Each structure stands twice: as C-alpha cells, then as structure tokens.
Amino acid sequence: MEDLIAGSLHCQTLFSKDRPILLSFDGLGYKKYHKKTLLYSTNPIFHLQLAHHFSGESCLMSNLDLMLAVMKILFIGDVVGRPGRRAVRECLPRLVERHRLDMVIANGENSAGGAGITPSTARELYEAGVDVITTGDHLWDQREVIGLLKNEPFFLRPLNYPEGTPGNGWLIWGRQSSSKVAVLNLQGRTFMAQLENPFIAVDRVLDQIREQTSIVVVDFHAEASSEKIAMGRFLDGRVSLLVGTHTHVPTADEQIFPGGTAFLSDVGFTGPQQSVLGREIEPVIRRFLTSQPQRFGVAQKDIVLHGVTVEVDNLTGKAQSIARIAEPL
C-alpha cells in the first residue's frame, strides 16, 4: 500500500506541469481521448488510491480526467414482488463489494405484487442501490406507473411504444468520477404485442446516443430467443451489453460477439424460484388443468437474485467479460 501512495505522489509532481507527462509504471497509462488526456489504471486498488489522491481540485488539471479503464456493471433480472425486492435489498450490498460494481441496472416490471411497478416499489429498488430501472410488457399493470414515467429520470419503458407515449426509452446515467453509461430498453414483437419495430427504433437513436458515450447497455424485453439473438448480432460492435429479459428463465449462452458486444439471451428473474416464473405453483397448474382464470399469488420460497455482470472498456465501450450471477438470499 505504501508503494501505491508513493506512486500517486510521484504522479502529482509530474502533473503539476502544464501537461501530463507521466507514464509508465505498472497498471497505469494514459490516452488522448476526445481532446482530453485520460489517465487510467487497470488495477482497481491502484485506481482507488489515485482517485482518492486526485480528488483535491489542485491536482486535477482542466485537460485531465481520471478514470478506471474498466467499468463493471450489474444487470438484475425481472424483480418479482416483495421477495424479489428483498433479494435486491439484501444481496446487492455484498455483490457491489464483491464485484466492485460501478453501476447497477434492474428490470422492475414485476416488482409490485408480481405485476407492474409503482413509485414506492421503484423507490425501494433505488434505495437498495439500483441506479436505473427498466421495464417491459407489464409496464402498465399498476396505474401509479404514470408518476414514474413522467417524473423519474432514471426509469425507462420500452423505446418502441408509439410516439407520444409518456416516459423515455433510453437515458444517459453518470456519476462524477465514472463514465457515462447509456441505458436503452426495447420490447420484442414475436409472441408479444405488436409495438413498433425494435430493430428500426434502436437504429434510429443509436448514433445520437453514441455521440455522448460509447458505453451502451440494452435490455431487450422479449419472448423469442431468435429475436433476441438477432438483435444482439444486429447491434454487435455498437453496444456494450445486450441482455434479454421477460421469460424469467436464465439461459446459459453468455458470450462476447466478435464486435465486442456482450450478450445473454435471458438473465432470469429475481425472486422465489420454487414457483412458476415467480408465481405460486398450484394456481398455475389449476389454470392449465381447467382453462379457468385463477389468482396467481407471488410465491415465497427459495429466493435468488439472478443477474449478469459485464466489464466494459471505458474508452471503446467494448465488453471484456460477461458472467452470470445467481445469488441466494
């Protein structure tokens, strides 16, 4: 640790000139990027030391940004009801610590009693550490969602709803000292409502988004794996992560496509796994047996947070790794 501190002090001396000239000790480098000199470290611990040391304004030069070369993002699959919210609340702090997460995104379309989302269930997720909430076809199940669509800056609905629909289909998130991340929400059309074509909708906005940041995360809320894989291939090289949601069943096809886009067909759901997609088992079986409507309560047992982490190169937006997470309560 002493060495690290000494290293960062050494940096300071070099930076006190008008232009940074540093460069070559372990895990540290610099690049010219958007007319700025970007100092980066590939070593997270060393980076923390640097960030701490350069947090005083006298050390930061106007043409210098300090960034970690890699950004780590967690995406949490559909949060189902109270058990799902509890899983986020209790599991997220240890996941942030264990994986040194810079950002957390969650699909919240089932967070209110298993169907829809309200301002208070959204608030629970934000307070648990979720930075951005995405949704899907259950968006409209709770009337109060309109408050989120109109007022909440880090809340998304699928982009490909008709023009004039309240809310936003994409946003830019960023904290001081970390990179900006664009988050985009799309909904599929195979075996689902016939919204606008999601391929055309995303194509229309992507250049505009990438002018602001090269780190782009897409939640493609869709039923058919073919539609999700086709979307992943379509966006390969233009987004950092495309993750599928909606089926509530995790798939094992996580990979990084040749252009640098991390991909997973479906991340699964967060909530009670002794269930049928998060709901009590018996009423669902009864429905299939009798074809009569039943009340589907949220199940309670075997609560797991399902998610996926991705490491993204800050400069290029390309994914470096992708890993599935199944964290029991």
Residues serving a catalytic function are 138
Alpha-helix runs per DSSP H in the chain: 2-15, 44-53, 81-99, 119-128, 145-151, 198-210, 225-235, 281-290
| Interface segment toward Fe ion; rule CB under 5 A; list 72-80, 113-121, 148-156, 163-171 | 72-80
Beta carbon nearer to Fe ion, 47 or 248: 248
- Residue 30 CA to residue 215 CA, distance in Å, equals 19
Beta carbon nearer to Fe ion, 46 or 220: 220
* Residues in region 246-275 near Fe ion by CB under 5 A: 246
Closest approach of Fe ion to the CB of residue 77, in Å = 8
Closest approach of Fe ion to the CB of residue 122, in Å = 15
Position with the least CB separation from Fe ion:
78
- Residue 123 CA to residue 211 CA, distance in Å, equals 30
- Residue 56 CA to residue 142 CA, distance in Å, equals 46
Tokens 């940074």 belong to 20
Closest approach of Fe ion to the CB of residue 107, in Å = 7
Beta carbon nearer to Fe ion, 11 or 277: 277
Which value, to the nearest 10 degrees, does the dihedral of the CA atoms of residues 58, 43, 322, 204 take?
A: 30
Closest approach of Fe ion to the CB of residue 249, in Å = 11
- Residue 312 CA to residue 318 CA, distance in Å, equals 6
The 3-class SS string of 305-321 reads EEEEEEEEECCCCCEEE
DSSP assignment of 190-213, as one string?
TTS---S-HHHHHHHHHHHHHTT-
| Interface segment toward Fe ion; rule CB under 5 A; list 64-72, 104-112, 139-147, 188-196 | 104-112
Site string for Fe ion, 229-248 (x = CB under 5 A): -----------------x--
Angle (CA) 275-101-57 rounded to 5° is: 155
Check if the beta carbon of residue 80 is closer than 8 Å to that of residue 113.
no
Closest approach of Fe ion to the CB of residue 278, in Å = 8
> Which helix H or strand E contains 132, and what residues bound it?
strand 132-134
Beta carbon nearer to Fe ion, 8 or 245: 245
Of 71, 78, 299, 319, the one binding Fe ion (CB under 5 A) is 78
Beta carbon nearer to Fe ion, 78 or 280: 78
Site string for Fe ion, 127-166 (x = CB under 5 A): ---------xx-----------------------------
Cα atoms in the 13 Å half-sphere on the side-chain side of 29: 9
Q: Is 110 a residue that touches Fe ion (CB under 5 A)? A: yes
Q: Is 102 a residue that touches Fe ion (CB under 5 A)? A: no
| Interface segment toward Fe ion; rule CB under 5 A; list 25-33, 39-47, 71-79, 189-197 | 71-79
Q: Is 49 a residue that touches Fe ion (CB under 5 A)? A: no
The pair of structure tokens assigned to 294 is 């039943």
Beta carbon nearer to Fe ion, 215 or 304: 304
The pair of structure tokens assigned to 149 is 């669509």
Q: What residues line the site for Fe ion (CB under 5 A)?
A: 78, 109-110, 136-137, 246
